[in-house]
Structure 1
Amino acid sequence: MSRPTISDLAKAANVGISTVDRVLNGRDPVRPQTAERVLAAAEKIGFHGVTAIKRRLENEKPRVKLGFLLKQSHRKLYRMWAEVLTKAVETYPEAHGRAIIRFDDELTPEQTADTMLSMSRECDAISVITSDHPQINQAVDGLEQEGIPVFTMISDLTARGRTGYVGNDCVKKGRTAAWFIDNLNPNPGKVAVFVGSHRYLSQELCEMGFRSYFRESAPDFQMMETLGTREEPEIAYEITQRLLKSEDNWVGLYVAGGGITGVMRALRECDTTSSNRLVVVAHELTNETRAGLADGVIKAVLSHPPVLLAETLVRAMVDALDTHRTPSVTQHLLPFEIFTAANI
């Protein structure tokens, strides 16, 4: 049986002979997706130049530097995100990637904007987790004009120039938290929401969905004023302690932002009827929230799928750097994971 020819390979890959020739000899550029299709066809029909095609693809992968501006470095959650994102960049199959991680410990708009501008001098594209503020949005719009794609991760921005968002449908997330509190409580009572900051769009939308569920489906529950933790466990601890002492009929708490470890500490220290009946729903499965589910302090955790989010974000950032693509704003809404004591 004769060996497959270039003509056979072109037919199998559904491309022209000239395209196969460019893939094999590297004289002219070929879109990565097309080259991958030629490689797959070559492997399928047993074409003798598979090794050369693989070498060509490897050599022509773009080299990209992707920057990620995360929040407080002292929080284990964001150190976890740093590890997952770094791995996603380094293992991304269609580019030679390098991850540049920065942490925003001050959480001020000025510092965030300055850090983004600084990162733009060493990164090809940037992703941020940050609050929605005019100074930050101005920085995003400025970077867009300079050709630096900026993506939002977990919490979106209103900046006109942001390139895309990767995260959850936060309204559905809030409604799901409310569903748990409604269905796990035998009797209606008072319900509270903790947010890290009122400027995080993700938390604002989670709160919106949470309140809309009770307004539409469980009106006998009484919504308390939303309280801010500034993303600090100690503040969440103090607020939780105060409410346990002052609110006799407090039955539900949705921690839509940072501070869950402070809430858990307060509940463990206050082993009373009030604390034991409180249904707590939190975000993000970590070692701490896993322990909270195990001992019953937390009833449910709604979590971003870390690996899927990181891989989706990296792919979107690399795609945004492809000069062959038409620039557009992309939105990737990923399903959130639901954890209880029964499935951790």
Structure 2
Amino acid sequence: MARRPTLQDLARAAGVGTATVDRALNGRGNVSARSIAAIVEAAKRIGYPLPASAPVNAPNAKPKFDLGFVLHKPSQSFYQRFAHEITRTCAERTEAQITPHLSFSPSQAPDDFAKAITDAASKSQAVAATAINHPTLSRLVDRLTEDGIPLFPLLNDFAGRSGAGYFGLDNMKVGRLAGWMMATQLQRSCRVAVMVGGARWHGQGLRETGFRSALREHAPQITVADTSVNLETRQVTYEATLDLLQRHADLAGIYVAGGGMEGAIAALREARPPGKVSLIVNELTEDSREALADRYVTMVIATPLQTLCRALVRHMVDRVGKGPEFSRERLFFEPLIYLPDSV
């Protein structure tokens, strides 16, 4: 009597591991469509009886993926749109069943980011997150990588070499773009200011560096004031803007490199006429759109969320299917530029 094929025989015939076969037969996910097809073909070839209830026997069976996403500042319209675009993109991938596990860090403290990412990783095969640069998060990325959970940093490359690949804008380029526009707009001896959220947002530090270098190159006659830290909050930005206007009578421009632009807009509406101070901000929201139309904002540099989310979800799914041999990529997306006459 011929020996009945075993699970190990099926795995060898399909060219995958026994754990992969077990996950495929029991619908535990984390199995690529290519591996499922190889398992089904091998089972037919060696005569392995697949259970009738096995997910691989279902007609037009779709691979299942659990993907984790961690953002912050849930009250800000930009991150609300980001979350909506992630959810919509996962639903659009009709060739797979993707369940997004989306959450927000309650604050910008490293421990809060770490907890939110850890919670997302506990129920996901891959995670994408916004976060600050901090040793706590660097160690967490290392641990997740060792556990086979790839982590994709968003907007700010906080994961270092252990990350699965950065998705966002080229922050140095964004800063230089802001500096070039400021130089072109002003073309005289004056003073400008730059605001960042804090020292732990290295992406904003790159924007500041790019901004200052572009001004040195294109408008050496413009003086840049000491960098202001606004903690990415509306109120702190509002107060910092009023303080700058009071201390520097020659202030002609402000670049808000991170969040909190609503405070700068509100302060300028109170203290200066339209166009008196050139304000450059990030992300097109109702506040920045209205400020553009009213000439309180000179330029908005925005993240192409739809393009980013589609590429992100595709790479996360591919990384889960292909495993650790999937190469790390840094994907820079071209920023969207909005001027007063384009809204």
Same fold (TM over 0.5): yes
Cα pair distance change 1:324/1:271, threshold 3 Å? closer
Cα pair distance change 1:58/1:228, threshold 3 Å? farther
**Distance in 2 (alpha carbons) for counterparts of 1:177 and 1:97:** 38
Who is 1:203 aligned against?
A: 204
Who is 1:133 aligned against?
A: 134
**Distance in 1 (alpha carbons) for counterparts of 2:212 and 2:103:** 34
Q: How does 1:161-310 map to 2 (within 5 A)?
A: 161-272=162-273, 276-310=275-309
Identical-pair percentage = 31
1:31 equivalent to 2:19? Answer no
Q: Moved runs in structure 1, 4+ residues, more than 4 A?
A: 55-58
User: Structure 1: 5+ residue runs without aligned partners?
Assistant: 1-28, 36-54
Who is 2:144 aligned against?
A: 143
**Distance in 1 (alpha carbons) for counterparts of 2:101 and 2:187:** 49
Where 1:302 maps in the other structure, the secondary structure is strand
Partners of 2:137 and 2:159 within 8 A in 1: no
Where 1:132 maps in the other structure, the secondary structure is coil
Q: What are the Cα deviations for residues 243-266 of structure 1, in whole angstroms up to 9, with x where unaligned?
A: 111111111111111110000100
Q: How does 1:3-82 map to 2 (within 5 A)?
A: 31=34, 59-82=60-83
How far has the Cα of 1:151 moved from its partner? 0.2
How well do the aligned residues superpose, as a CA RMSD in angstroms?
A: 2.1
1:332 equivalent to 2:331? Answer yes
Where 2:68 maps in the other structure, the secondary structure is strand
Q: What are the Cα deviations for residues 217-265 of structure 1, in whole angstroms up to 9, with x where unaligned?
A: 2111111111111111000000001111111111111111111000010
Who is 2:311 aligned against?
A: 312
Q: What are the Cα deviations for residues 7-53 of structure 1, in whole angstroms up to 9, with x where unaligned?
A: xxxxxxxxxxxxxxxxxxxxxx9739x99xxxxxxxxxxxxxxxxxx
How far has the Cα of 1:161 moved from its partner? 1.4
Where 2:144 maps in the other structure, the secondary structure is helix
Q: Which moved more, 1:314-323 or 1:86-95?
A: 86-95
**Distance in 2 (alpha carbons) for counterparts of 1:321 and 1:230:** 35
Partners of 2:71 and 2:103 within 8 A in 1: yes
Partners of 2:132 and 2:158 within 8 A in 1: yes
Q: What are the Cα deviations for residues 83-120 of structure 1, in whole angstroms up to 9, with x where unaligned?
A: 01111111124421111111112210011112211211
How far has the Cα of 1:158 moved from its partner? 4.6
Q: What are the Cα deviations for residues 141-178 of structure 1, in whole angstroms up to 9, with x where unaligned?
A: 11111011100111112533110111111111101101
Who is 2:97 aligned against?
A: 96
Q: Which moved more, 1:153-162 or 1:246-255?
A: 153-162
Partners of 1:167 and 1:304 within 8 A in 2: yes
Partners of 1:193 and 1:224 within 8 A in 2: yes
Letter of the 2:331 counterpart: H
What count of residue pairs does the alignment treat as equivalent?
A: 294
Cα pair distance change 1:290/1:58, threshold 3 Å? farther
Where 1:154 maps in the other structure, the secondary structure is coil
Where 2:172 maps in the other structure, the secondary structure is helix
User: Structure 2: 5+ residue runs without aligned partners?
Assistant: 1-31, 39-55
**Distance in 1 (alpha carbons) for counterparts of 2:176 and 2:308:** 21
Cα pair distance change 1:325/1:341, threshold 3 Å? same
How far has the Cα of 1:323 moved from its partner? 2.8
